[in-house]
A and B are shown apart, each in its own frame.
Chain A
């Protein structure tokens, strides 16, 4: 049972365009929602994270939008660049249970020059 559903599985965007990756979760007890970025041949690295007390968090060209009622959160990459080509993972966790991270299956993003 996939508790965090990520879509799309793959995405191709033109340079300068907006990349949007969506995640949906089921457990309303989740209170921490990070996005990790993984380049080929590297381990994942935290990109940006949000907690449900805010609806949006922006860091540079990367924005998380959070919709608590819909149990969805999304990553927006503005002015997408070829250097953004990577796999992106969303995840969620809740207090307790060692704060186990529940991962989405990942989105492979390719930004064409």
Chain B
């Protein structure tokens, strides 16, 4: 089954404790992206990757890191989480770019205390 998977689905952590949210897709997509969704603010892009070893900042990259060492995986790293990073996070992938059909993962709900 074609899908985007994210882990964990729910995470509670404390300020400053490094964490990684994994994202994997099995559709051989070149483009992958991370979004955060907050009430009233819609979907905001954090980082995206056009292909392996090619990443770039989205609209709200501060406090986040990403890497793309393999085509299928695109982890999101919070080196020192803060309460304002409490949010619902989505990974998405598409064949080439964000203007094509994007396939979203199920989401990761993060609470930073």
The finding on whether chains A and B are genuine partners in a shared complex, rather than unrelated, reads yes
A66 within 8 A of B: no
Count contacts on B: residues with CB < 8 A to the other chain.
25
Which candidate, B13-21, B37-45, B60-68, B70-78, is the interface stretch facing chain A?
B37-45
Given contacts A43-B90, A44-B90, A98-B97, A105 and B42 within 8 Å (CB-CB): yes
B1 within 8 A of A: no
Which of A44, A49, A99 contacts B98 (CB under 8 A)?
A99
Which of B97, B104, B106 contacts A99 (CB under 8 A)?
B97
B52 to chain A, nearest CB (A): 15
The answer to whether A105 touches B100 (Cβ under 8 A) is: no
Question: What residues on A are CB-neighbors of B41 within 8 Å?
Answer: 105
Question: What residues on B are CB-neighbors of A41 within 8 Å?
Answer: 106-107
The answer to whether B98 touches A93 (Cβ under 8 A) is: yes
B48 within 8 A of A: yes
The answer to whether A103 touches B43 (Cβ under 8 A) is: yes
Question: What residues on A are CB-neighbors of B97 within 8 Å?
Answer: 98-100
Question: What residues on B are CB-neighbors of A106 within 8 Å?
Answer: 42-43
A89 within 8 A of B: yes
CA–CA, A54 and B105, complex, Å = 31
B28 within 8 A of A: no
Count contacts on A: residues with CB < 8 A to the other chain.
22
A98 to chain B, nearest CB (A): 5
For B40, B45, B97, B99, the residue with the greatest tally of chain A CB atoms inside 10 Å of its CB is B99
For A34, A93, A99, A101, the residue with the greatest tally of chain B CB atoms inside 10 Å of its CB is A101
Write out, one digit per residue, whether chain A residues 25-43 have a CB within 8 A of any chain B CB (1) or not (0). Answer: 0000000101010000111
Which of B4, B31, B43, B96 contacts A89 (CB under 8 A)?
B43
> Which positions 22-62 of chain B face chain A at CB distance < 8 Å?
31, 40-45, 48, 50, 56
Q: What are 19 A-B pairs at a CB distance below 8 A?
A: A41-B106, A43-B90, A43-B104, A44-B43, A44-B102, A44-B104, A45-B103, A46-B102, A49-B101, A98-B48, A98-B97, A98-B99, A99-B96, A99-B98, A99-B99, A99-B100, A100-B97, A105-B42, A106-B42
